[in-house]
Amino acid sequence: MTFLVVTGLSGAGKSMAVNALEDIGFFCIDNIPAGLLPRIVDFALQGENQLSRVAVVMDIRGLRSVEQVQEALAALDEKQMNYDILFLDANDNVIRRRYKETRRMHPIEASEGIPIGEAIARERKILQPLRDRAKYVIDTSLLSVAQSRERVCGLFLQKGECAMAVTVMSFGFKYGLPQEADIVLDVRCLPNPFYVPELKNLTGLDQAVFDYVMKAPESQELLRRYESMLEYALPLYVKEGKSQLVIAIGCTGGKHRSITFARQIGAFCQKLGYLPSVQHRDARRTM
């Protein structure tokens, strides 16, 4: 089991980090008081939970002194388990600006009524033992949210994983566009098996329909162009921090051409290194 402690300065990007970790399969628990940490560890280690990757967030909300931080680390060490610490940092001016932009108050500033500069300095002192023990430190001062997310995912993605979940969905335009679609590809321009009597009641899941659609030169050329576009665009979505992408492929009824192309596009995305889920929204419709 991978056990990760996520911590760092308030305003440095811990929420972003947790969202990124959840997107790549971590079970995340936010705002853990120091006293509960041993119980969380015990829960995570129980075999019936089947948790392979766990991340807990400990920060100034639950750690109000250096002694509490040291006690929390000692409690982890007593469990004799492997764990890593990810520390999110940013310079003081950036943290001040972020709080000003969001119109929120720093937790220590709010609870103790002290200026934000003093609150940040106190927080740094309290969390210093965690920073000293951190295996990973990310300074987000000059990073965009997308870049910070990419850094986090890059640290903890397992070999062969991709930070973006891809869904390829076939659909029929006559039943409406999928509301969740990010990219819509139209294949209504291709030869339609619906007008071939022996193919009319089949779908693109049947080899006869698949072969009929793909033997047309225009189908092969359109597929090539769609694949070229996706090969270029998908890494840009990952770079921009997109965690989920839905590619919707539509024909008139959603049974023949769209399913055929969804199968092809799904296989192509897998070839590119993604792990697409291929769905056929309207394949079972009877009208």
CB 144 within 8 A of CB 134: no
Do 78 and 177 belong to one domain?
no
Can you give the residue range of the structural domain that contains 121?
2-156
Out of 113, 134, 156, a domain closes at: 156
* Percentage above 70 pLDDT, the chain: 97
Tally the domains of the chain: 2
Instruction: Quote the CA–CA distance of 102 and 176 in Å, as a whole number.
Output: 38
pTM: 0.71
Do 66 and 85 belong to one domain?
yes
Question: Within the chain, which residues score under 70 in pLDDT?
Answer: 47-50, 159-160, 287
Q: CB 77: neighbour CB atoms within 10 A?
A: 11
pLDDT per residue as tens digits for the range 217-244: 999 999 999 999 999 999 999 888 888 8
Q: CB 2: neighbour CB atoms within 10 A?
A: 16
C-alpha R_g of the chain:
25
Instruction: Quote the CA–CA distance of 64 and 68 in Å, as a whole number.
Output: 7
pLDDT in the model for residue 8: 96
Do 137 and 34 belong to one domain?
yes
Out of 156, 182, 212, a domain closes at: 156
Q: Which long-range contacts (CB under 8 A, 24 or more apart) does 266-273 make?
A: 266/168, 268/227, 268/230, 268/231, 269/166, 269/168, 269/230, 269/234, 272/230, 272/231, 272/234, 273/160, 273/162
Q: Look at residue 285 and tell me if it is in a domain.
A: no
Do 63 and 139 belong to one domain?
yes
Instruction: Quote the CA–CA distance of 240 and 253 in Å, as a whole number.
Output: 34
